[in-house]
Amino acid sequence: MEELYSKVAEASKFLESKGVKHPEIGIILGTGLGKLAESVQPIEVISYDEIPHFPVSTVESHHGRLIYGELEGKKVLAMQGRFHYYEGYSGTQITFPVRVMHAAGIKHLLISNAAGTVNPNFKKGELMLIDDHINMIPDNPLRGQNDERFGPRFPDMSQPYSKELNSMIKQIASDLGLKINEGVYTPVAGPNLETRAEYRYLRMIGSDAVGMSTAPEVIVANHIGLPCCAISVLTDECDPDNLAPVSIAEILEIAATAEKDLTKIYTELVRRIYSRESQV
């Protein structure tokens, strides 16, 4: 435990030595969703492999760098590329960057991901604000001895996604005339996509979308008391009675189109979030 705490402190100290000072908002960009990072006026771009104890991204569609800069006048830390369970990382490794960004000073965490929709009313190319999740990734990031300096042994998950941030997002979508669905996200281990029977099961248990990420980071954000929100870009329609083979190229293409709206919403959210001095 001491080990994780000091590793986080070491990584955060390293960021400080690179000029990262009082970042206010952390952003995690999912598969095919790196564009938002291009709106950030960079102050420092730090490759993951430079940061002590940071895992290194193995997925080609992920860049693997941390961008420290300004967006809408706020200091942000944007992760261009994240870590997944299917890459072989443990829950602790996947969520290490969340602890580091928090130690560096962020007060809010904005997450994005690509997901398949199992709700027949949602269409590919649309966005879904995550209201809740059903975590099916086996390795819980809090498994093992708890360090009270991070948070409690049994963190509450009655409202894992910030009510305030979620209502701001809905207001923003309405103000900008953009459609956003709302629903339950279920991450699975991956890396294979689901069988027809699995999609049917996911729908039956109450899922609206299925992906392979996000819940670990959200669990840790709740552990450390960091308000967070997440938006899925719906890249494929998972209808068990009419299932076409999924093409990863198509998923990436749809993610690239839909991320324009995601970028608009998150940029406006960053603008509306009060600064460190006056909390949301």
Interface positions with ligand HPA (CB under 6 A): 114-116, 193-194, 210-212, 235-236, 238, 251
CB of 235 to ligand HPA, least distance (A): 5
CB-based contact 214:113 (threshold 8 Å):
yes
> Residue 54 or 85: which CB sits closer to ligand HPA?
85
Segment 48-54 long-range contacts (CB within 8 Å, at least 24 positions apart): 48/81, 50/14, 51/11, 51/14, 51/15, 51/100, 52/7, 52/10, 52/11, 52/14, 53/7, 53/8, 53/10, 53/11, 53/96, 54/11, 54/96, 54/97, 54/100
Question: Residue 68 in 3-state DSSP?
Answer: strand
Which DSSP string do the residues of 91-142 spell out, in sequence order? HHHHHHHHHHHHHHT-SEEEEEEEEEE-STTS-TT-EEEEEEE----SS-TT
CB of 99 to ligand HPA, least distance (A): 25
CB-based contact 112:61 (threshold 8 Å):
no
Q: By beta-carbon distance, which residue lies closest to ligand HPA?
A: 116
> Residue 46 or 115: which CB sits closer to ligand HPA?
115
CB of 140 to ligand HPA, least distance (A): 19
* Encoded tokens for 233: 């870009």
> Residue 114 or 273: which CB sits closer to ligand HPA?
114
CB of 212 to ligand HPA, least distance (A): 5
> Residue 166 or 214: which CB sits closer to ligand HPA?
214
Tokens 């102050």 belong to 43
Q: Taking the CA atoms of 249, 36, 165 and 212 in sequence, report the sign of the dihedral they define.
A: positive
CB of 198 to ligand HPA, least distance (A): 9
> Residue 11 or 127: which CB sits closer to ligand HPA?
127
> Residue 4 or 256: which CB sits closer to ligand HPA?
256
CB of 226 to ligand HPA, least distance (A): 25
> Residue 129 or 273: which CB sits closer to ligand HPA?
129
CB of 211 to ligand HPA, least distance (A): 4
